[in-house]
Amino acid sequence: MKFYSTNNTLSRVSFKDAVFNSMPQDKGLYMPVTIPRLDDKFINNLDGYTLPEIAFHVAQNLLGDDIPADELKAIIDDAINFYAPIVKLEEDVFVLELFHGPSLAFKDFGARFMSRVMSYFLEEGEKQLDVLVATSGDTGGAVALGFLGVPNTRVTILYPKGKVSDIQELQLTTNGQNIRALEIDGTFDDCQALVKQAFTDAELNARYRLTSANSINIARLIPQTFYYFNAYAQALKQGKSKIVFSVPSGNFGNIGAGLLAWKMGLPVERFIAATNANDTVPQFLKNGIYQPKPSVATLSNAMDVGNPSNWVRIADMFKDDMSGLNKLVTGYSFTDDETTAAIKAVYDHYKYVVCPHTAIAWQALKDYQQDVHADGTAGIFLSTAHPCKFPGVFPQEIAAQIDTPAQVKELQTKSKQSVALGKDFEGFKDYLLKNN
C-alpha cells in the first residue's frame, strides 16, 4: 500500500516511510492512496471472528504485502492481547470499554501496534529512532509503555504542566530507561506545535532520525479501526445491526479511525463527535466555518485540543462534500458542569462509573437519541480511559466505587522524573541537541 500527503495527493511513499517520517515535509498527514472496501461476506459475518482475527483481516487489507502475513499476525497477537467488550446498560445503549490495556486507555491499541511495527521495520545497525510525542493526558502513558525497553528507540514525551491528572503524570514520568518526559509550561496545543516544528527543522532532522507517536502517525490510526469492527461484531451477537457510535473527541484521531472503518465498509449509521468546551469541530459542523482557537483546560483534559491535527484527514476523506459529512457526523459539546452532571447521571441510572471523557460521549449519545428518535438503532459510546485516572473529578460516593488496578497502586510508589521547559521552540530544540 502506498500513502500520500493530504497536502499533495500526487505524492507516494511506502508504509515504512510513512511510519518513520510520520509527518510529510509539506506539513500534511499521510493517508492510504486507496481505502479498500472489505468484502460483504466478512462484514456480514463479523460476529464469527475474534478481535485478533478482525484486526489481522483489516490490517492486511490496508497494508497489502508491506508486512508479510505471518509477521503481521505475530505483531497483532502481541500488541492486541487484551479485550475490548461492549457492555449493555439499557436496551439501545452500550458502552465500549477500551481501557483494558496496560495504560488503561484506548491509546494502547495504537501505541502497542505502532511500537511493534517500528521494531519490525528497524534494521540492525540503523540509526537510533527518536520518537517525539505530545500528550494531553493518555497518549503519553500508552506510548511510554508501548515503547518501554524497545531496542534502538528513544521516546521524548511533551506534556502540559498542571493539565494532566496525577496518575497520568506518573505514567509519563516514572519509566526511565528509553523514556524521558518534558513538562512544558503551556497547553497541549503548544506541545503539539513543538513536535510538529521539530519534524520540519533541518538541523534536528540532520542530527536525529525523528518520528512521531501521536495520532498524526498513520500507524496509530490503523489499529484504532480494529475496535470499531469488533464492537459491531459484538453488537451483531446481541441482535443489533444498526449502530451509532458516540466518540469522545480531542485530536480527532479516534473518530477519524471510525470513519476510516466506515470507508472500508463498516455499516455505521452515524458518528457523534462529542467534545468539551474545545468545540472547534462541532461549531464547524453547525456553521461550515472551521475556526481553530486556543485550547482551554477542562475536566476532560485529554480532549483539550483547540486545533485538532487529525481533522485534515477527515476533511480529506470527504473532500468538499459537506453534505455527506453532515449526514454521517454530528457534533455535540459540553461544559464541565454538564460533564459532572453526566458522571452522576450514569452512576445513578446504571451504577456504572465513567471517566469525564466517557461521560461526555454518553451525554452526546443520549441527546442524539432524544433529538433523532432513531428507533431500532443502538448507540455505542466509547469509554476511552479507566475512571481511576481522574480521582479528583468524582464525588466521594462515586469515587468509593472505583476499583483501582494494581498497576496504578504500584505507580503511586514511584517518583516523578521530568525536565521543565517553556513553550518556545528554541528552548526545546536546544534541549534535544544537548541531550544525546
Rounded Cα distance, 377 and 369, in Å = 9
Rounded Cα distance, 326 and 224, in Å = 22
Question: Quick count: other Cβ atoms within 10 Å of Cβ 199?
Answer: 19
Answer yes or no: is 68 within a domain.
no
Rounded Cα distance, 397 and 360, in Å = 20
Task: Give per-residue pLDDT as tens, 160-216.
Answer: 999 888 888 999 899 888 999 999 999 988 998 999 899 889 999 999 999 888 788
CB 178 within 8 A of CB 149: yes
Answer yes or no: is 299 within a domain.
yes
Per the structure block, which three cell numbers stand in for 116? 511493534
The CATH number covering residue 99 comes to 3.40.50.1100
Answer yes or no: is 193 within a domain.
no
Answer yes or no: is 90 within a domain.
yes
Nearest-10 crossing angle of helices 69-79, 107-121? 140
pLDDT in the model for residue 302:
85
Sequence-distant (6+) residues with CB within 8 A of 195 are 132, 133, 134, 158, 212, 214
Task: Give per-residue pLDDT as tens, 213-249.
Answer: 878 889 999 999 999 999 999 999 999 999 999 999 9
Rounded Cα distance, 277 and 297, in Å = 8
pLDDT in the model for residue 106:
94
Answer yes or no: is 316 within a domain.
yes
Rounded Cα distance, 159 and 138, in Å = 10
* DSSP conformational letter for 416: -
Task: Give per-residue pLDDT as tens, 54-107.
Answer: 999 999 999 999 999 999 999 999 999 999 999 999 999 999 999 999 989 999
Per the structure block, which three cell numbers stand in for 361? 460521549
Answer yes or no: is 149 within a domain.
no
Nearest-10 crossing angle of helices 253-263, 311-318? 20
Task: Give per-residue pLDDT as tens, 360-384.
Answer: 999 999 999 999 877 789 999 999 9
Indicate whether this model's pTM tops 0.95.
no
* DSSP conformational letter for 186: S
CB 187 within 8 A of CB 412: no
pLDDT in the model for residue 405:
87
Our measurement of the distance from residue 37's CA atom to the centroid of its chain's CA atoms, rounded to an integer in Å, reads: 23
- Dihedral of CA 303/280/195/227: which sign? positive
CB 421 within 8 A of CB 431: yes
Phi, psi of 105 (to 5 degrees): -150, 155
Beta strands in 185-282 (DSSP E): 209-212, 243-248, 268-275
Domain assignment of residue 390, given as a range: 83-103+220-399
Candidates 254, 357, 386; CA nearest to 308 is 254
Cα 41 to Cα 37, 46, 107: the distances in Å are: 12, 9, 29
Candidates 432, 358, 367, 362; CA nearest to 402 is 358
Our measurement of the distance from residue 115's CA atom to the centroid of its chain's CA atoms, rounded to an integer in Å, reads: 15
Per the structure block, which three cell numbers stand in for 311? 481533522
Per the structure block, which three cell numbers stand in for 348? 445513578
**Phi-psi label, residue 87: left if phi above 0, alpha if psi -120 to 50, beta otherwise:** beta
Total domains in the fold of the chain:
1
Task: Give per-residue pLDDT as tens, 259-309.
Answer: 999 999 999 999 999 999 999 999 999 999 999 988 888 999 889 889 998
CB 311 within 8 A of CB 273: no
Q: Which amino acid is at 186?
A: G
Cα 127 to Cα 67, 151, 294, 353, 432: the distances in Å are: 21, 11, 37, 46, 16
Phi, psi of 25 (to 5 degrees): -65, -20
